[in-house]
A and B are shown apart, each in its own frame.
Chain A
Amino acid sequence: MANFFPRWSNWLPLKLAICSFVIVCGLTAGTWYYVTPKYTKVGYEPIQPVPFPHDVHVTQLGMDCRYCHSFVEVGAHSNVPNTQTCMSCHQQVQKDNPKLEPVRTSWKTGEPVQWVWIHRLPDYVFYNHSAHVNRGISCASCHGQINHMSVVADAKPMSMKWCLECHRNPENFLRPEDQITNLDWKPDDVNPAEFVGKYGKPAGVTEDWSKKTHLTQREIGQTLKERWNIQTSENCQACHR
């Protein structure tokens, strides 16, 4: 039987190889970008029954996170405030604002407001808020600059890799315990002399840090990590119990 592969088929394998290379690379890159929590979770901004503007309450009015999320320092779960908390102000302030109608209904009926859960971890992950906020991890590390959000959106991927970024190098995120709910805090805000006086220095550092003009995040983090003996677990059972 005669040869029936036409001449152009000589180049077909090379063309197929190039095409499949491009397709495979494209699929990989596309999956990497579009199917991971960096894309699927960050920016999630559901419509809440009441559009609670955090920027107004925190930045303009100066309320502390813990006024509403009152059990964050003692509980594993950081609570969403109940209707009574809202009404303690809104009985007097903005008491006829139509946007607050669901809160007033809840106040009358006793049925809680159905807030939409944003920062939701899988049910096999056990995250303890009190363990983190009492040991130098700010609200902003996980929730972003909520104090500037008029509508709360997910700011971080909250993937396991993201959790491990901090569990592997906590010194990149630790801050003094009185600055946890100061979401605008920067390492430059720290007064080196005051900081070194209060927390000391990591072992092995000979330089006098109290004379420095400012401390870096790593210097602050390393000091606090050693001072508080922070041993972040990378064991599976730390979070998957």
Chain B
Amino acid sequence: MEGAVAVPEVIEGEELAPTEKPLTRVPLVLNRRSYGWLTERIAGAVENRAPRWWWVAFAVTAAIAGFGLFCLGYQISTGVGTWGLNHPVGWAWDITNFVFWIGIGHAGTLISAILYLLRQKWRTSINRSAEAMTLFAVICAAIFPGIHVGRVWMAWYLAPLPNNYGIWPNFRSPLMWDVFAVSTYFTVSVLFWYTGLVPDLGTLRDRATSKIKKFLYGIFALGWRGSNRHWRHYEMAYLLLAGISTPLVLSVHSVVSFDFATSILPTWHTTIFPPYFVAGAIFGGFAMVLTLMLPARALFKLHDIITLQHIDKMAKIILLTGSIVSYAYAMEFFIAWYSGNQYERFAFWNRVLGPYWWYWWVGMLFCNALSPQLFWFRWCRRNVYVVYFVCMCVNAGMWFERFIIIVGGLHRDFLPSSWGLFIPTWVDIWTFIGTHGIFLSLFLLFIRFLPMIAMSEVKTALPESDVHAQHPAGAMEKEHA
């Protein structure tokens, strides 16, 4: 801690009122926290002994992840028959989970790339963990298309590798482009995340107390010394990566939506899918960022760095994207009526009143369309319990939405004789729960070994970093006093 601790660790209530000028911006880091305090608080989360709750949480999530991996092994060794897939529902929880997880990643890329290019400084408090979340979500997502092919050892067929069979992937297939989109996305996200980590790894290396830590952080810090030249190269690299990542925010989920949109099934064959999926992905992603960050904020006492202002802004993005998604839902129904296509109309009546009716009423209508509307109210955006409730609704709702799109489109075939339902097996259910275990275990490891907030970037948001800032009247005297 700093020498003189004038303020308590956590200050409850609204941020300090801007006293100096009536229209001064509310600072992003509250209570005039210094560079030193930020380093101590953020690096301390990595350097101090792991709190007891961390061990309990990690034991639980690792156990779930382990059982999930067992389910994967069981499915691979026994065959896809261990899942409930059958005619006519050939895609169910596997692809639902894939789209669910890949969507979650999008918030991280949006925060790290688009908000960076738009000079939104508030991103600095959340971008590191959101990017980590992106990577872990994409890892969870990548499991499903890999294993749902049935013969996972043939998954390399997805890649256009020259081979002895003289065969080549079908470049007209959106499934092929899905592979490219997701693998590009993962690669660029890793690079972006890692590049951003380098200055902070340098900090951790310099503060390391044991040889092993010093060695490992030293290796990954790539000899960072924080010289002017280093910063110049670093910032250019970061800017370039932000530019490369920005189209990926839009392209990845657009390509995922082509998996459905290029087919001929009612409810799948629709041109609204790419923007609808992208908005849904950012919507679900921000909900997951808040799901992870609100507990982390409370447990590591980061209230001055992740302020109510940050939560408020993320809630607004959830409100915006949730409303876009709701518009898309409504437009699907409108087009079903307006097209006059009897199959399309049937499919949407079936969505609301068919065997999966409650998935729609609870998942899509209540969780996705209605619950974010609470964020029209400032009080709701700034009450962490309300925010958490809405985020949990959105997390669940977005999974239900994907399930309704996928299974809802398949279970009522054109021929009524081939109608059927999807009944998940225990392997289906535990593989999905297991990916949550993998996701949370990776996230818990991340917050133990890497700074969960970009220290160097948050410091740039402090008033003393702004060389053009006007000193508030009397501030100099106060500091010298």
Q: Point out residues on A near B: beta carbons under 8 Å.
A: 1, 3-5, 10, 13, 36-37, 157, 159-165
Contact = CB atoms under 8 A, between A and B. Distances in A.
A125 B63 CA distance: 45
Contacts of A160: 164-167
Given A1-B208, A4-B218, 9 more contacts: A1-B209, A4-B211, A4-B215, A5-B218, A5-B223, A161-B165, A161-B167, A162-B166, A164-B165
B165 A159 contact: yes
Interface residues of B, number: 13
Contacts of A1: 208-209, 211, 214
A164 B214 contact: no
Contacts of B164: 36-37, 157, 159-161
Given A1-B214, A4-B214, A5-B218, A161 B166 contact: yes
B418 to A, nearest CB: 23
Interface string B186-222: 0000000000000000000000110100110010001
Contact of B166 (A3, A4, A13, A165): A165
A164 B167 CA distance: 9
Contact of B163 (A3, A13, A161): A161
Interface of B: 163-167, 208-209, 211, 214-215, 218, 222-223
6 closest A-B pairs by CB: A161-B166, A160-B165, A164-B166, A159-B164, A36-B164, A161-B164
A3 B205 CA distance: 9
A232 to B, nearest CB: 13
Contacts of B218: 3-5
Contacts of B222: 13
B223 A159 contact: no
B473 to A, nearest CB: 44
Contacts of A157: 164
Contacts of B166: 159-165
Nearest to A157: B164
Contacts of A163: 166
A142 B92 CA distance: 46
Nearest to B215: A4
A37 B166 CA distance: 12
A1 B210 CA distance: 8
A1, A161, A162, A164 interface centre (most CB from chain B within 10 Å): A1
Contacts of A36: 164
A4 B208 CA distance: 12
A240 to B, nearest CB: 11
